[in-house]
A and B are shown apart, each in its own frame.
Chain A
Amino acid sequence: MDAMEEIRQTFFEECAEQLAELEAGLLAIENGEADSDTVNAVFRAVHSIKGGAGAFSLDELVAFAHIFETTLDELRSNRLDASETVLKVMLRSADALADLVSAARDGGNTDKEKNEALAGELRALVALAKGEEPPAAGAPAASSSSVEYDDGMGDFDFTPVAVDLSELMGDMPGNRFRILFRPHDRLYAKANEASRVIRDLLELGVGTVHCDSSEVPLLPHLDPEGAYLNFTIELETEHSEEKIREVFEFVEFDCELMIEPMEGPIVRQEIDLEGIDPEIAALLSRVSGGEDFNFGSDAFGALEGNDESGEAEDGSEEPNEDLAALLKTASEAESVSDIMAAVAEREPKEEASAEAPAPKAEAAPDKSAETVKAPKAETEKASASAPSPGQTIRVDLERVDRLIDLVGELVIHQVMLSQRAYQAGLARASEVAVGFDELEQLTREIQDSVMAIRAQPVKSVFQRLPRLVREVADISGKSVKLVTEGEWTEVDKTVIERLADPLTHMIRNAIDHGLEKPEDRLAAGKAEEGTVKVAAMHRSGRIVIEISDDGAGINRKKVKEIAGNKGLIPPDANLSDDEIDNLIFLPGFSTASQISQLSGRGVGMDVVKRSIQALGGRVSITSKPGKGSTFTMSLPLTLAVLDGMIVSVGEQTVVVPLTAIIETLQPKKDEVKGFGGDSRLIQVRDAFLPLVDVGRELGYSWEPASATEGVAILVEAENGSRSALLVDAIQGQRQVVIKSLEANYGRVPGIAAATILGDGRVALILDVDAVVATSRVDQSSFFTGMQQAAE
């Protein structure tokens, strides 16, 4: 990837963040939770996008961002009320901006007409704010072609100061500037040279140079690489300020620079010769070679590399006779070290000699208030960004993955090592054992921290939902309120990325099929506005996302009829309500009697189900007629650590996620009942639960295990149903690192993932729900047939 492409990529990454911030801000404003910071943040987001887009010549994007920004500016300055209508337009504009950004990134097209219409609405808002007659909406805007934007600096939180050139260039020739130039030691460290800069400057015109040496410390305190001199240059030139700045182009960040236009003719500085220490003057003459007293540019040439030395005076074209004469009485200083020594000797006179130049240096910053001061602007920018909370860095995901793998290894080896040590007879109370304990704690902490790097709140996905709901509601003509819950639930980044698609489809489905039309809702005695709730939570070591609507619920009669008509189920099938509800996940099933723009895109619930399954997830539906339906999607928190119970099944070791376990018990003979075929039930207090023989389900043994010799583990599946898993023995309880089986092999039915135990062997982590479900499938030939149809 070339450098430009990289920058471009960064720009788009940042755009995504800015867009998220923009939308979040607008929504906050809409909900009345906004303060002026929010409005500013919103403005800044658009401004940054515009700035960046300008740098990449994304004209369409820039044009739209510009008008959007202008409107936001009206809002920011309180000329425009944040009314509901205004915010609706703004939110739609944010959507359009997002489209433009993605179009710019992927080279796609956007709906130009729509954007233009939206831009027209924005302009109308601006006009409204300004108290003008709004222009005809959608009228082609002159502004869109002549948008000014600032060079890619938009990201920084300061507004570049425009320099009014016309004013500066108005009375040429004979512009006069006072330039305060205070080099930092960085400037010299970068092999730049103040004297050269000044020489270049003097080539632009005629000027006087004052050197303020008052800050030169005594020799013992002198840092040989320090910078102590300030220069004040009064320049009369026919060039503009721009031109002057060009001279400082390479040093502007390494110096303090102040350029201000001067009124009136240049006042030839009468140098208070009395104020100049004769020694310094003499030294100066020594340094400058003593031959030529034209203190123009040449004199500075001689000063090169010698910035510790005293004061340079430029008498413009005609050298100041008096000064020259004075300087001619050069003392005997032989070298730079002599000069320094002389400076040191001067100690008592320091104050006096400093008097002349010092007031100038002090006066200058006062005048800087309204002038351009580049270095200052930069410091302000730095200090403004420094305290911002939550500083972030961008890290390649691969590096984080690598780190996670390594830490996982570390944990395994640490466990292995301590196990071996104990096997070799290490005393539990020994110091080494204590060391092992501490090491274990440390590795766990490292692991937690590393895991936390990848874990992200689902907020980033939830943030996109309001827009989706707005769009879908618009198209379907329904009024929808979105409620989100648990948006800070953390889940691995890879899961987050793949969460968006199924979630989108399910929300579409909830609005399109779940919610009734407004008039039907009113007729049913419900609020006109339907509610779609999206909630995320951790459960059983997985992330569960529920999408519920308060619509009509599933019309079971209709669903069954359609499934029967399409030959998806036998016409005489006797199905439970639950089974009927889940029919909608079968391929080729669509209840919408008329294919709508939204759901007719060929993405049925079967596709949703498959994409969730591909993630190792599951989806189910519960529905109450008249009250609404809830889709529950559960996904693994990949790469997480899992607390598991280590059990023996046949000759194998299997991990059962602790979160699914309710209790364990030793079955007694009279508690286990046969229940048709091979199925068995176990009586736990008053309830009869199916007893699932794990060894047989996993194919580790063919003979049914003896219930009384094993251990029953009571588990709760995600849908709340309970079962008992029959295993041979419980080995213990341990935290294990989840290793993907998919990476090198593929999905294994009944297995969630793998892990590596202390002995270095791979153990499989049981997918409790799947094992329980397949054991039911085994018992229901009808369901097996249906499953095959679904595959």
Chain B
Amino acid sequence: MSNTNTPVAANGREGRIDHKFARELIAFRIGEQEFCVDIMSVREIRGWTPATPLPHAPSYVNGVINLRGAVLPIVDLAARLGFQRTDPTARSVIIVVRVDQQLFGLLVDAVSDILTVTDDALQPTPDLASDLAKTFVRGVMAMEGRMISLIATEAVLPQLQMAA
């Protein structure tokens, strides 16, 4: 958790942060890669509990868990991004996010950082990325030599069920 509040002008321009556009992000790891989500969409972060698998669900949906009485679907973010499925351990982390009225959990390996950045720090997703990644990644940020991708949380849940 170093440099959590250091303003970063990632596009090379030195300058003061315009606080109007500053936002906080929660960064986390999946394997060797780092991703982040807007802190405003995060409701809580909790440890892994075994999920009840859902029939006929896509492979990236681990199932549902009990979040204080609500049924919370868990999405294996690694599988959703086209990586290998996560084998959840006791050290895995669930980031509970809210999109509109829906709550769901993102299964990730570990939460690494809280970042404060401005919008102009965000670069568009490079063309190189696969279509799958482009769907779920809103943009990338360079941060002290690390690359962090901002997850488009609204695209993570399977669309067909949302429409139902």
Partners in one complex: yes
- A residues neighboring B (CB under 8 Å): 405, 408-409, 412, 614, 652-653, 697-700, 739-751, 754, 756, 760-764
List residues of chain B with CB within 8 A of the CB of A740: 71
Option from A699, A700, A741, A760 in Cβ contact (under 8 Å) with B66: A760
Report if B53 contacts A (CB, 8 A): yes
Q: Are A762 and B71 in contact (CB under 8 A)?
A: yes
Option from B68, B71, B101 in Cβ contact (under 8 Å) with A741: B71
List residues of chain B with CB within 8 A of the CB of A756: 66, 69, 71
Q: Are B164 and A405 in contact (CB under 8 A)?
A: no
Residues 110 to 138 of chain B near chain A (Cβ within 8 Å) = none
Q: Are A699 and B71 in contact (CB under 8 A)?
A: no
Nearest-CB distance from A506 to chain B (Å)? 22
Q: Are A739 and B161 in contact (CB under 8 A)?
A: no
Q: Which residue of B lies closest to A766 (CB)?
A: B55
Nearest-CB distance from B155 to chain A (Å)? 15
Q: Which residue of B lies closest to A614 (CB)?
A: B164
Q: What is the bound-complex CA distance between A760 and B55, given in angstroms?
A: 20
List residues of chain B with CB within 8 A of the CB of A762: 51-52, 63-66, 71
Q: What is the bound-complex CA distance between A582 and B135, given in angstroms?
A: 40
- Supply 27 A–B pairs (Cβ within 8 Å), ascending by A: A409-B68, A412-B69, A652-B52, A653-B52, A699-B56, A741-B54, A743-B70, A744-B70, A744-B104, A745-B54, A745-B104, A746-B162, A748-B55, A748-B57, A748-B161, A754-B71, A756-B69, A760-B49, A760-B66, A761-B65, A761-B66, A762-B52, A762-B63, A762-B65, A762-B66, A764-B52, A764-B54
Q: Which residue of A lies closest to B161 (CB)?
A: A746
Q: Are B55 and A739 in contact (CB under 8 A)?
A: no
Q: Are B164 and A746 in contact (CB under 8 A)?
A: yes
Q: Are B64 and A750 in contact (CB under 8 A)?
A: no
0/1 interface trace, chain B 17-58, chain A, CB 8 Å (1 if under): 000000000000000000000000000000001111111110
Q: Are B69 and A739 in contact (CB under 8 A)?
A: yes
List residues of chain A with CB within 8 A of the CB of B103: 744
Nearest-CB distance from A705 to chain B (Å)? 15
Q: Are B161 and A700 in contact (CB under 8 A)?
A: no
Q: Are B71 and A761 in contact (CB under 8 A)?
A: no
Q: Are A744 and B66 in contact (CB under 8 A)?
A: no
Report if B72 contacts A (CB, 8 A): yes
Query: Which of B50, B54, B65, B104 counts the most A-chain CB atoms under 10 A from its CB?
Result: B54
Nearest-CB distance from A443 to chain B (Å)? 14
Q: What is the bound-complex CA distance between A350 and B130, given in angstroms?
A: 103
Q: Which residue of B lies closest to A405 (CB)?
A: B69
List residues of chain B with CB within 8 A of the CB of A739: 69-71
0/1 interface trace, chain B 74-86, chain A, CB 8 Å (1 if under): 0000000000000
Q: Are A744 and B102 in contact (CB under 8 A)?
A: yes
Report if B7 contacts A (CB, 8 A): no
- Size class of the contact patch on chain B: 20 to 34
List residues of chain B with CB within 8 A of the CB of A763: 52
Q: Which residue of B lies closest to A699 (CB)?
A: B55
Q: What is the bound-complex CA distance between A326 and B65, given in angstroms?
A: 92
Q: Are A745 and B73 in contact (CB under 8 A)?
A: yes
Q: Are B157 and A745 in contact (CB under 8 A)?
A: yes
List residues of chain A with CB within 8 A of the CB of B69: 405, 408-409, 412, 739, 756
Q: Are B71 and A747 in contact (CB under 8 A)?
A: no
Q: Which residue of B lies closest to A753 (CB)?
A: B71
List residues of chain A with CB within 8 A of the CB of B70: 405, 739, 743-744
Q: What is the bound-complex CA distance between A22 and B14, given in angstroms?
A: 73
Closest 10 CB pairs of A and B: A746-B161, A698-B55, A745-B73, A762-B52, A409-B69, A747-B164, A746-B164, A754-B71, A699-B55, A756-B66
Report if B90 contacts A (CB, 8 A): no
List residues of chain A with CB within 8 A of the CB of B104: 744-745
List residues of chain B with CB within 8 A of the CB of A745: 54, 64, 71, 73, 102, 104, 157, 161
Q: Are A700 and B55 in contact (CB under 8 A)?
A: yes
Q: What is the bound-complex CA distance between A98 and B104, given in angstroms?
A: 43
List residues of chain B with CB within 8 A of the CB of A747: 161, 164
Q: Are A749 and B66 in contact (CB under 8 A)?
A: no
0/1 interface trace, chain B 144-164, chain A, CB 8 Å (1 if under): 000000000000011011111
Nearest-CB distance from B12 to chain A (Å)? 41
Q: Are A749 and B64 in contact (CB under 8 A)?
A: no
Q: Are B52 and A744 in contact (CB under 8 A)?
A: no
Q: What is the bound-complex CA distance between A749 and B54, given in angstroms?
A: 10
Q: Are A744 and B56 in contact (CB under 8 A)?
A: no
Q: Are A761 and B52 in contact (CB under 8 A)?
A: yes
Q: What is the bound-complex CA distance between A762 and B157, given in angstroms?
A: 19
Q: What is the bound-complex CA distance between A761 and B101, given in angstroms?
A: 23
List residues of chain B with CB within 8 A of the CB of A614: 164
Q: Which residue of B lies closest to A745 (CB)?
A: B73
List residues of chain B with CB within 8 A of the CB of A653: 52
Q: Which residue of A lies closest to B65 (CB)?
A: A762
Q: Are A743 and B102 in contact (CB under 8 A)?
A: yes
Q: Are A761 and B55 in contact (CB under 8 A)?
A: no
Nearest-CB distance from B158 to chain A (Å)? 7
Q: What is the bound-complex CA distance between A743 and B72, given in angstroms?
A: 9
Q: Which residue of A lies closest to B50 (CB)?
A: A761
Nearest-CB distance from A517 to chain B (Å)? 40
Q: What is the bound-complex CA distance between A587 and B77, given in angstroms?
A: 37
List residues of chain B with CB within 8 A of the CB of A748: 54-57, 161
Q: What is the bound-complex CA distance between A750 and B55, given in angstroms?
A: 8
Q: What is the bound-complex CA distance between A653 and B73, given in angstroms?
A: 17
Q: Are A751 and B55 in contact (CB under 8 A)?
A: yes
List residues of chain A with CB within 8 A of the CB of B56: 698-699, 748-750
Q: What is the bound-complex CA distance between A746 and B104, given in angstroms?
A: 12
Q: What is the bound-complex CA distance between A750 and B101, given in angstroms?
A: 24
Q: Are A742 and B52 in contact (CB under 8 A)?
A: no
Q: Are B71 and A744 in contact (CB under 8 A)?
A: yes
List residues of chain B with CB within 8 A of the CB of A742: 164
Q: What is the bound-complex CA distance between A418 and B51, given in angstroms?
A: 23
Option from B53, B72, B158 in Cβ contact (under 8 Å) with A746: B158
Q: Which residue of B lies closest to A410 (CB)?
A: B69
Option from A409, A412, A697, A743 in Cβ contact (under 8 Å) with B71: A743
Q: What is the bound-complex CA distance between A495 and B118, given in angstroms?
A: 46
Q: What is the bound-complex CA distance between A405 and B70, given in angstroms?
A: 9
Nearest-CB distance from A714 to chain B (Å)? 22
List residues of chain A with CB within 8 A of the CB of B57: 748
List residues of chain A with CB within 8 A of the CB of B50: 761
List residues of chain B with CB within 8 A of the CB of A743: 70-71, 101-102
Q: Are B161 and A751 in contact (CB under 8 A)?
A: no
Nearest-CB distance from B42 to chain A (Å)? 15
Q: What is the bound-complex CA distance between A740 and B70, given in angstroms?
A: 8
Additional 17 contacts, C-beta under 8 A, given A743-B101, A745-B102, A750-B55: A409-B69, A614-B164, A697-B55, A744-B70, A744-B102, A745-B104, A746-B160, A747-B161, A747-B164, A748-B54, A749-B56, A750-B56, A756-B66, A756-B69, A760-B49, A761-B52, A763-B52
List residues of chain A with CB within 8 A of the CB of B64: 741, 745, 754, 762
Nearest-CB distance from B88 to chain A (Å)? 15
List residues of chain B with CB within 8 A of the CB of A697: 55
Q: What is the bound-complex CA distance between A699 and B102, given in angstroms?
A: 25
Query: Which of A408, A754, A756 counts the most B-chain CB atoms under 10 A from its CB?
Result: A756
* A751-B54 CB under 8 A given contacts A745-B71, A762-B65: yes
Q: What is the bound-complex CA distance between A730 and B23, given in angstroms?
A: 52
Option from B51, B73, B158 in Cβ contact (under 8 Å) with A744: B73
Q: Which residue of A lies closest to B54 (CB)?
A: A748
List residues of chain B with CB within 8 A of the CB of A405: 69-70
List residues of chain B with CB within 8 A of the CB of A749: 55-56
Q: What is the bound-complex CA distance between A754 and B52, given in angstroms?
A: 10
